[in-house]
Structure 1
Amino acid sequence: MLDKLHSYYKNSLLLSEKPNSSFYSNHHWFKDENSSRWLGIPLESIHNQELALLKTLFHYEFNTKSTNTLEKKWHDFLFSNGMIPEADQESYYRFIQFHLYGSEWEQHDIEEAMYGFFQDNSIVLWKDQASGVIIERNPDQSINVELLRSLSQTLESDFFLKAFFYCGKVQALSIKSPILFTEEQHFFEEAIQLMPSDRVYTFEKCFPYLLSAQLPKHMQEWMSSQLLQIMADEPELLTAVKRFLENNSNATLTAKQLYVHRNTLQYRLDKFMQKTGINLKDFNSSITVYLACLLHNQ
């Protein structure tokens, strides 16, 4: 099939071994799993729909097109078992992973928008066409969630795409950093599936959802029969309780978000406690109920 594609795409290249990215940075590369041959198609010669189709048929090798030596070292370190970037061993870092969903965009336009929100010493790396990581050097421990939300809104309004971010932990650079990066990547992927309405994730935000999704089946069945079925005819009670717990039991804020009077909210909370016998002021009870609410939404 590579021969036919080679004939179809003008100026494409067909090589018998893996190409050197230094010489072929302006090509998309596809490998036939049944041979050692590689097909290179110029970036300007293929449309996004064609690219998406070919990526499902062949192993796809994405080229970062980076000419920056430090960026290349970071890319090799995180994605290709490369050495630790020597110039950066004394610093602390945070990896902010991102994933974009949309039709068409230019990566340099996305990078320009991202760099406008971060310090000059930050680095944007691409893992593939739609995902990558922003590397923050010596960031504050506190996470600026609002900044990432603003960036997500900017990308969505300017480029008509959905932008998701996972803000990792601040860490010292070590040989274990790529492993931690991969673990955070897995959390990120699961979070998008479990919490698609959100745009910015942290481990603390994801953990309850991940935990509820991985509860043993018998525990899920018990929660369903003992808690969720009781509320089956009044789902608004679960909605009120979930939002109330997420807002740290702030009734005023919860009522405002649900567009109901505070007395209406209190009525729903009281009715929930009356029907279930669960006291929402009890810490352990609140955790149990919250996990049940998450399980209900999955």
Structure 2
Amino acid sequence: MTQLQELFGDKLITATHPFDTHIYKWFTNGTSYYIGIEASSLSGEQEALLSIFLPEFQIADQHLSKEQQQWKVLLFDKPNQLLNENTSFSGIRFIHFSFKSPIQDQLEFEQALSGLYHTDVIILWESRVTGVLIEKIKEPDDPVHSISDVIDVLTSDFGSSMQFFEGQAYKLPFLAGQFFQQEKKWFMQSKEWFSTQRVFSMNKLLPFLLLQEASPLLKEQLSRVIDFIAEDEEMIHTIKTFLECNMNVSLTAKTLYMHRNSLQYRIDRFILRTGLDIKRFSEAITAYLAIMSIQRL
């Protein structure tokens, strides 16, 4: 980044989302912001060299349908514009995706991804390796499908380098562009925190985001809750798995390849040493946040 600033000076800017695409060439750099360089100051050779290291933001208007163009404007050009109530759908969900390297057939991927949903969807590519699927929710009680259910099929067809971020469902009206850009930032953070994970969910990520925004004192207080077992990695792993298995002893024992009696002994020992009765929902939440606070933050 420093070298780019030295080369282009005030011709280079950064922003949380691209704008004035007729003036700037925009590039993504794997973070929560975009790099824009005045097109008039870029030579063809420089642009080709940059595209090797930085994927170019390239939603080409001439290849978009009318509806795709409308979504492009809403998400990238006018993020403060309200998406009003619509007669054909009542809500929206964003499914963000990224690849480590470009795939050979984008159209085939689009068809495979669209086929997973029973509702109308729109797909926008932001670069050769990043994009978003916009799922239209017609009725509040429409079933919500998860990429996790079919990720193995997708990776077998298109490679294992893909990652997805499933945003939450938003009821109209809402500021679509603002929430879209915010989810993109959280997607970037998720990939930093859980680099090997293939599917991220907004609902599952929220506790981590809450901890991220918590004061240092609150984080310290949370970690102190499990002070007496914090060094026992086996215990921490067991209890975290138990909580992630919805406090189901049978499922946890199966997941850990452990006898039920051995698992029950560890749970009872955790309760005794921490004073947290993780069989109770409210105290289980505290225990889970405490474990996350020492593992991630």
In the superposition, the TM-score normalised over structure 1's length comes to 0.73
Contact 2:83–2:176 (Cα < 8 Å) also in 1: no
Contact 2:89–2:136 (Cα < 8 Å) also in 1: yes
Instruction: Check 1:18–1:293 CA distance in 2 against 1; reply closer, same or farther (3 A cut).
Output: closer
Deviation at 1:233, TM superposition (A): 4.0
Deviation at 1:18, TM superposition (A): 6.4
Aligned to 1:193: 192
Q: Distance in 1 between matches of 2:172 and 2:84?
A: 13
Instruction: Check 1:90–1:162 CA distance in 2 against 1; reply closer, same or farther (3 A cut).
Output: closer
Contact 2:253–2:263 (Cα < 8 Å) also in 1: yes
Query: Which 5+ residue runs of structure 1 have no aligned equivalent?
Result: 2-16, 21-29
Aligned to 1:75: 72
Greater displacement, 196-205 / 238-247 = 196-205
1:24-173 matched pairs, under 5 angstroms? 32-33=37-38, 36-39=40-43, 51-53=51-53, 60-64=56-60, 66-81=63-78, 90-106=88-104, 107-119=106-118, 121-139=120-138, 140-145=141-146, 148-160=147-159, 161-173=161-173
283, 287, 290: which one aligns with 1:289 = 287
Instruction: Check 1:226–1:70 CA distance in 2 against 1; reply closer, same or farther (3 A cut).
Output: closer
**1:273 and 2:271 matched:** yes
Aligned length: 263
Q: Distance in 2 between matches of 1:52 and 1:136?
A: 31
Give the CA RMSD over aligned residues: 3.5
Aligned to 1:24: none
For 1:102, give the aligned amino acid.
K
The DSSP-based 3-state class of the residue aligned with 2:226 is: helix
The DSSP-based 3-state class of the residue aligned with 1:238 is: helix
Instruction: Check 1:261–1:31 CA distance in 2 against 1; reply closer, same or farther (3 A cut).
Output: closer
Query: Which 5+ residue runs of structure 2 have no aligned equivalent?
Result: 5-19, 24-34
Larger Rg: 1
Q: Distance in 2 between matches of 1:287 and 1:150?
A: 26
CA offsets per residue over residues 250-282 of structure 1, 9 Å max, x none?
Answer: 100011111111111111111111222222233
Deviation at 1:113, TM superposition (A): 1.9
1:228-267 matched pairs, under 5 angstroms? 228=227, 230-267=228-265
Q: Distance in 2 between matches of 1:87 and 1:201?
A: 28
Contact 2:99–2:129 (Cα < 8 Å) also in 1: yes
Q: Greater relative contact order (Cα 8 A, min sep 6): structure 1 or 2?
A: 2
The DSSP-based 3-state class of the residue aligned with 1:168 is: coil
Deviation at 1:112, TM superposition (A): 2.4
In the superposition, the TM-score normalised over structure 2's length comes to 0.74
Contact 2:94–2:180 (Cα < 8 Å) also in 1: no
Deviation at 1:85, TM superposition (A): 8.7
Q: Distance in 2 between matches of 1:183 and 1:149?
A: 22
1:170-185 matched pairs, under 5 angstroms? 170-173=170-173, 176-185=175-184
For 2:41, give the aligned amino acid.
R
For 1:285, give the aligned amino acid.
E
Contact 1:166–1:201 (Cα < 8 Å) also in 2: yes
CA offsets per residue over residues 131-180 of structure 1, 9 Å max, x none?
Answer: 222122234544222xx124432332222222213132142255x22223
Contact 1:114–1:151 (Cα < 8 Å) also in 2: no
